[in-house]
A = this chain, B = another copy of it.
Amino acid sequence: MNIRPLIASLVFVVCALPAGAEDGYDLWMRYRAIDAGSYPDLDARVHELVVAPGSATLETAGRELASGLTKLRGRPLSPVPAVTQSGAVLLGTPRSSAEIAGLPLALERAGAEGYVIRSVTLDQKQVTVIAANSDVGALYGAFHFLRLIQTRQKLDALDIVSNPRTQIRVLNHWDNLDGHVERGYAGQSIWDWHKLPGYLDPRYTDYARACASIGINGAVLTNVNANATSLTPSYLEKTAALAGVLRRYGVRVYLTARFSAPIELGGLKTADPLDPAVREWWKAKIDEIYRYVPDFGGFLVKANSEGQPGPQDYRRTHADGANMLAGPLALHGGVVIWRAFVYSNETPDDRAKQAYNEFVPLDGKFASNVLVQVKNGPIDFQPREPFHPLFGAMPKTPLMMEFQITKEYLGFATHLVYLAPLYEEALDSDTWVKGKGSTVAKVVDGELHGYHETGMAGVSNIGADRNWTGSHFDQANWFAFGRLAWDPELSSQSIAEEWVRMTFNSDPAFVRPVVSMMMGSREAVVNYMTPLGLHHLFDTGHHYGPGPWVNNLNRADWNPTYYHRADAAGIGFERGPRGSNATSQYSPRLAAIFADPRKVPEQFLLWFHHVPWDYKTSSGRILWDELVYRYTHGVEVVSQMRRTWAGLEPYVDAERFGQVSSFLAIQEREAQWWRDACIAYFQTFSKRPLPPGVTPPAHPLEYYQSLKFPYAPGR
């Protein structure tokens, strides 16, 4: 009797029924069973799992590996204590496993958090070893091995050494205690503070898993616009409960420190960082925090920025403020991460210059456990900015990179914008401060200046939405951030390929067009929102949609008109020596390039220069025509993305296909809105006709100016 068809049909029927919807909850850890015929390596190299007992984290690594491999194989794989056959996968550390201790793995190359994955022969058996010096290293190695299988790599001659290039790889959650996420477009905060510590949502574990799978080792739980209440005992108890969940996955918790907490909680009259009572208060508070969370990571501080209190309120410097906190934290192994995103209450001549002006004089004045966290660009997470001039300018102060994963200025959750090319562009930027190749990546990973602390922060796009990030493709941005924090020199293209294979499927007929769509998506949003170096054209407050005409806000540098400076003569912010001279904040060689409209990369033309409408661009078109062309082209690329996706229906489950289709339709409509509104507005200055054949805006300017969105999310 041939029972195969019977079994197959039975399995099909019974399993087809309760199969969970493809709602994106699994992220890139979507371990769907792989057909053995299509990938013989899996069968040959994975049929025994050897994990020795160890710490909670090593146990977690073993469980993740067992569960992932079981799902990928479609057959259970339970850990056994020792290698008994070829095809064994051996996971552990020299401490946990005598077999690993006995192998010549040169584990010193793996460092404190890295790992080695290697095909070896052990007692004449072919074995894949995943080994690390630390338990968390083994966990990272386990996820790497799963990734190899998810992306169908050869498993027969592995020799991988991987080692994170930055030490602090951390998500910044801009989450308020009431559950609102500032600039969040994926629902409420995943931290349910009200039910903590009594209820530990299983989602916390899944969050930690996802972080660990891409090497993220820290989470700042609270908003940089900080609330002192998060430092009260009842909230520390909640934080401790969360830390207990995250710890198993090697994720340390951090909190934001409100600088005025000694006044608000401690009843002091001042928060002056040199006041002994203030220093005493913080010391006691920090000691208290470590009683709740023994491996507390430290504080992230936004001070003297956008109304937040800070040391300058007492005529002290950022270094005074940071060092006050750093002292007591150092006793427990914690750090201070001090944000460089500052601006004073007076309108500066050029907001782009402010952080540099305030921080460069402080180089060398920070305590050794202080890192300064710098946004990738000098303004604020725009679709495109040149790299921040602080990178390379503070050789004695560890600078952390701050990327924004949530798309505050890039279309919220509905626009498909793959951000790794933006991150890559920033990291690959050459500062030239120590000659060619002095890239921002080498500043951040400590190589250039020999930083003893390094890190990279991503402003989280995570919320309570079922798919975590508000859209399926926004998951790729979380993934890419983690991968780049681990290795800033990975290519955005290879990360996209990995992610697509892990999240959807490995069919080249699907992977190729989707990766290509992702890779073009960031340039598209630059074009349909802020081409040629334009920036900050967003409508007030919510940053949803265009508002280049906005000119009524209290501070000049809150108004889009401050940034684009369009007039009858031309458009753009003159930041060369004739203007704000922000170009001088870069190294001399770059400064000379940026200062010259003929030399500056055209993508930054209007960032650095006010340029006449009839300026001849590299395409041969005059600036006005080029601007219209870019805006139009941005929309066309989105239309093309829609068509591409529409053709991929056979390769994707209905639920994800449908959501992405709907979102692309929204994106196309909003891209058109951006283009039309901006062209209609800038035309009032250029007074020039649209180039021949170009479709005029659908509505008069007044229509776009009349649109109001009082309930746009994320404020």
Binding site for B on A (CB under 8 A): 1, 3, 6-7, 10-11, 13-15, 17-21, 32-33, 70-71, 74-76, 176-179, 187-188, 193-195, 198-200, 202, 229, 412-414, 464-466, 655, 658-659, 662-663, 665-666, 669, 710-713
Do A20 and B17 form a contact, CB below 8 Å, given A10-B7, A193-B711, A194-B712?
A: no
Kindly name the residue among A18, A229, A412, A414 whose own CB sees the greatest number of chain B CB atoms within 10 A. A18
Q: Contact partner of A14 among B74, B665, B710, CB < 8 A?
A: B74
Q: Contact partner of A17 among B6, B74, B666, CB < 8 A?
A: B74
B6 touches A177 (CB 8 A): no
**Residue on B nearest A206 in the bound complex, by CB:** B21
Could you list 5 examples of A-B contacts with CB < 8 Å? A1-B1, A187-B188, A188-B188, A198-B666, A229-B711
In the bound complex, residues from chain B placing their C-beta under 8 Å from that of A18 are 15, 19-20, 32-33, 71
In the bound complex, residues from chain B placing their C-beta under 8 Å from that of A188 are 187-188, 464
Q: Contact partner of A198 among B1, B202, B414, B464, CB < 8 A?
A: B414
Task: Tell me the bound Cα distance from A32 to B194 in angstroms.
Answer: 33
**Residue on B nearest A20 in the bound complex, by CB:** B20
Task: Tell me the bound Cα distance from A20 to B712 in angstroms.
Answer: 33
Task: Tell me the bound Cα distance from A75 to B15 in angstroms.
Answer: 10
In the bound complex, residues from chain B placing their C-beta under 8 Å from that of A21 are 20, 202
Task: Tell me the bound Cα distance from A177 to B709 in angstroms.
Answer: 11
Task: Tell me the bound Cα distance from A412 to B71 in angstroms.
Answer: 38
Task: Tell me the bound Cα distance from A393 to B195 in angstroms.
Answer: 43
Nearest 3 pairs of A and B residues by beta carbon? A20-B20, A198-B666, A199-B662
Kindly name the residue among A1, A662, A665 whose own CB sees the greatest number of chain B CB atoms within 10 A. A662
A662 touches B193 (CB 8 A): no
| Copies per complex of this chain | 2
State how many angstroms separate the Cβ of A670 from the closest Cβ of chain B: 9
Task: Tell me the bound Cα distance from A11 to B195 in angstroms.
Answer: 38
In the bound complex, residues from chain B placing their C-beta under 8 Å from that of A711 are 176-179, 193-194, 229
Do A198 and B665 form a contact, CB below 8 Å, given A6-B7, A13-B75, A17-B74?
A: yes
A198 touches B669 (CB 8 A): yes
Task: Tell me the bound Cα distance from A207 to B4 in angstroms.
Answer: 40
Do A200 and B662 form a contact, CB below 8 Å, given A177-B711, A195-B414?
A: yes
**Residue on B nearest A180 in the bound complex, by CB:** B180
State how many angstroms separate the Cβ of A165 from the closest Cβ of chain B: 35
State how many angstroms separate the Cβ of A544 from the closest Cβ of chain B: 8
In the bound complex, residues from chain B placing their C-beta under 8 Å from that of A200 are 662
In the bound complex, residues from chain B placing their C-beta under 8 Å from that of A74 are 13-14, 17
Kindly name the residue among A10, A75, A665 whose own CB sees the greatest number of chain B CB atoms within 10 A. A10
B13 touches A14 (CB 8 A): no
Task: Tell me the bound Cα distance from A581 to B496 in angstroms.
Answer: 74
Q: Contact partner of A659 among B7, B199, B658, CB < 8 A?
A: B199
In the bound complex, residues from chain B placing their C-beta under 8 Å from that of A11 are 10-11, 14-15
In the bound complex, residues from chain B placing their C-beta under 8 Å from that of A33 are 14, 17-18
**Residue on B nearest A11 in the bound complex, by CB:** B14
A70 touches B19 (CB 8 A): no
In the bound complex, residues from chain B placing their C-beta under 8 Å from that of A17 are 33, 70-71, 74
In the bound complex, residues from chain B placing their C-beta under 8 Å from that of A13 are 74-76
A666 touches B193 (CB 8 A): no
In the bound complex, residues from chain B placing their C-beta under 8 Å from that of A199 are 414, 659, 662-663, 666
A187 touches B464 (CB 8 A): yes
State how many angstroms separate the Cβ of A55 from the closest Cβ of chain B: 23
A202 touches B655 (CB 8 A): yes
In the bound complex, residues from chain B placing their C-beta under 8 Å from that of A202 are 21, 655, 658
